[in-house]
Amino acid sequence: MTERFIIGIGSQRAGTTLLHSLLSDTSNAFMHPVKELHYFDTLYGIRDPSALREFSMRQLKREVNRIVSNSDLTFASKRRYKCMLRTTMLLASTPLANIEYRDLFRPFLSRKQPLGEITPEYMLLNEDQATQLRNVVGEDATIILLRRDPIDRLLSAAKLFNVYNNLNMDQNELAAWLNRMLDEESSWIKAQDKYNDYKRASAIFGELFDRFIAIDYEDLVYRPKDIAKQIAQAGELQIDSDKFAEKSATRKNSLGEQGLEDNCLKDRLKARYKDQNTLIEAVST
């Protein structure tokens, strides 16, 4: 392995899309145009292989339709587009065990340019699986764990679930639904527990990778230059911190929108995620 990798490992609703965009636009790293490759989580059985194949096939069909319906194909000649199309084709048609991870980054394989992607589900890997990931990407890979206040992150996930499934719940109905999820110890709430388990992910990846850092969503938005410096040092990247800060400012207005009026529910969630809140607060201070 001659390439250096920058890999984001989570968590969902904690700024992974924002960080991918920031690194793609302001650093010398090549961030894969397919932001979430889902390579390792699928390879190690955390994600159903059919989900990746079906998603990639839908994406491939959209791109084929785009090509055949567009008279100006300038976009199709660009290397980023070729990388995206080739990767999508491979993931849609080839068993993952037959795909070499680094091959997904062609034609950008280089000794000089760091290669990156961000897949939240990688934070769910156990120690053995994370060790296998290290064997593939190398010990000098930079691993970035994105964290967020666990209650804010859960509420953001709940609101996305509400919109995605067209449930049209208002705030009171959403709070009642969350209480029911907690009462039932539902699979949805258990999945949120896993994405809020920053201690576990930090212990596993921090032990395996010298270039492991954990950054918080709020810091990414409110202290972007500090975060840019931290990532640049850990990954030996060149980052335009001014541009990084300018682009991150677009997310400032999105923070603080996860308000919760149900005090009983708020107390339940605080108790459930006390350890993770304490971890984040300790690092922030």
111 Cβ contact list (under 8 Å, min separation 6): 2, 3
Rounded CA separation 119/11 (Å): 8
End-to-end CA distance of the chain: 38
Outline where DSSP puts E strands in 38-106. none
User: Residue 285: its pLDDT value, please?
Assistant: 44
The overall average pLDDT reported for the chain is: 91
Q: How many CB atoms lie within 10 A of CB 205?
A: 24
Query: Per-residue pLDDT for 282 more than 60?
Result: no
The pLDDT tens digits of the residues spanning 210-242 come to: 999 999 999 999 999 999 999 999 999 999 999
Q: Which residue has the tokens 């961030």?
A: 31
Q: How confident is the model at residue 255 (pLDDT cuts 50, 70, 90)?
A: very low
pLDDT digits 0-9 by tens, 68-112: 999 999 999 999 999 999 999 999 999 999 999 999 999 998 768
Domains within the chain, CATH numbers bracketed: 5-29+114-284 (3.40.50.300), 32-111 (no CATH)
What is the per-residue pLDDT for 242? 96
> Sheet containing 115-118: which strands, arranged edge to edge?
30-31, 115-118, 5-8, 142-147, 212-216
**Three-state secondary structure readout of 99-165:** CCHHHHHCCCCCCCCCEEEECHHHHHCCHHHHHHHHHHHCCCCEEEEEECCHHHHHHHHHHHHHHHC
pLDDT at 284 over 90: no
Which of 41-45, 80-84, 209-213, 273-277 has the least mean pLDDT?
273-277
